[in-house]
Amino acid sequence: MSSRMDSPGTPRQRQDLEVWREAWEKEMEKLPPDGRFPFPDPRNFSVATQARKVIDLLEEHGIPCCVIGIKALCYYGAPRIGSALEFCVPTEQLAAADSVFSSGPEKENYTAWRGFQPGAEARVSGSLYHTFPRYRLNHDGPLFNFYLVPSIDWRFNCIPENFEYSAQHHLPYPKLHLFAQSLLERQSVGDLTDLVDGMDLTEEWGEENLKLEDPGEDHAQWVAKRNERIRAAMPQEVKDDPINIMFGTDVYELREGPQEFRDVFADVVRAKPRRIGLEAPPGLYVTKYRAKDSPDPRTRIRFHV
């Protein structure tokens, strides 16, 4: 394998660990003795460390990218679990990004891979993930795999000016308002709900930071084209599913027609109290992920993002 696949204990990793350990100990000193925790096992950092290597590789080839999807939701305070990372790259550079991992010296480190259940990629509503490049890292540790996603598929301009960076690993994520706007436009209400709960967003925040008016004909055309691509890329095994033969495959498409972004966002925000589970002490939580008066999750020491 090439020298890029650093094993645990390289000088750079040791330096990072020492910095993080010092920051962790300072944070723990603010807590009472019975509320302090030992420094986490460095293996907890492995996914973020490998993500940083992917980003470095792409940037070395002049390809800007940022982390989206479930990992971005984790960054914004929603403790989601996913099997694959998603790296957004400019649409016009998707082929170049793909070639970084499919040819040249990195080919021996990364292998094209469709996951354990390839058909599941095409069964996500509004998804084209089964058409995007997906790779796994060749090593003996925990499975690390990722998609390369073109930015045109979520109406986000993938340039550094639209990124913000995590504290520990300096991973780029879409800025909060752009991420929320994208989820609205892609009709990803489930992910938007987790983002609202993770950051405790309000209707006032939405009015100040989002474009909630009627998106107009341009968005309608984008939705129609997206649905055309979904139908054209639908695998035969999905079409042949007895349920889909009976009810059709439009369940995998985006909803066409007028888009009431303001109403969607307001409904998600107003339902925050109803999503708080019975296991949460009454009056102590403002969302299912945020305790009352808890700090912005981005300001906390977190080694997985």
pLDDT in tens, 167-216: 888 999 999 999 999 999 999 999 999 999 999 999 999 999 999 998 88
Owning domain of residue 183: 21-299
**Considering the domain boundaries, does residue 8 fall inside one?**
no
- Measure the CA–CA gap between 68 and 55, rounded to whole angstroms: 12
Amino acid at 54: V
**Considering the domain boundaries, does residue 305 fall inside one?**
no
- Measure the CA–CA gap between 43 and 63, rounded to whole angstroms: 28
CB–CB of 200/290 below 8 Å?
Answer: yes
**Considering the domain boundaries, does residue 32 fall inside one?**
yes
pLDDT beyond 80 at 9: no
**Considering the domain boundaries, does residue 5 fall inside one?**
no
Neighbouring C-alpha atoms within 13 Å toward the C-beta of 187: 21
Q: Hunting for tokens 């912005």 — which residue is that?
A: 296
CB–CB of 181/211 below 8 Å?
Answer: yes
pTM over 0.85, yes/no = yes
**Considering the domain boundaries, does residue 12 fall inside one?**
no
Region 223-240: mean pLDDT is: 93
**Considering the domain boundaries, does residue 281 fall inside one?**
yes
Contacts of 264 (CB under 8 A, 6+ apart): 184, 189, 192
DSSP state of 219: H
**Considering the domain boundaries, does residue 11 fall inside one?**
no
CB–CB of 64/79 below 8 Å?
Answer: no
167 closest CA partner among 251, 4, 8, 45: 45
DSSP state of 231: H
Q: What's the structural domain count of the chain?
A: 1
Binned at pLDDT 50, 70 and 90, residue 8 comes out as very low
**Considering the domain boundaries, does residue 126 fall inside one?**
yes
Count, in order, helices (H) and strands (E) of the chain.
12, 7
% of the chain with per-residue pLDDT over 90:
65
Binned at pLDDT 50, 70 and 90, residue 15 comes out as low
Binned at pLDDT 50, 70 and 90, residue 14 comes out as low
What distance lies between CA 194 and its chain's CA centroid? 12
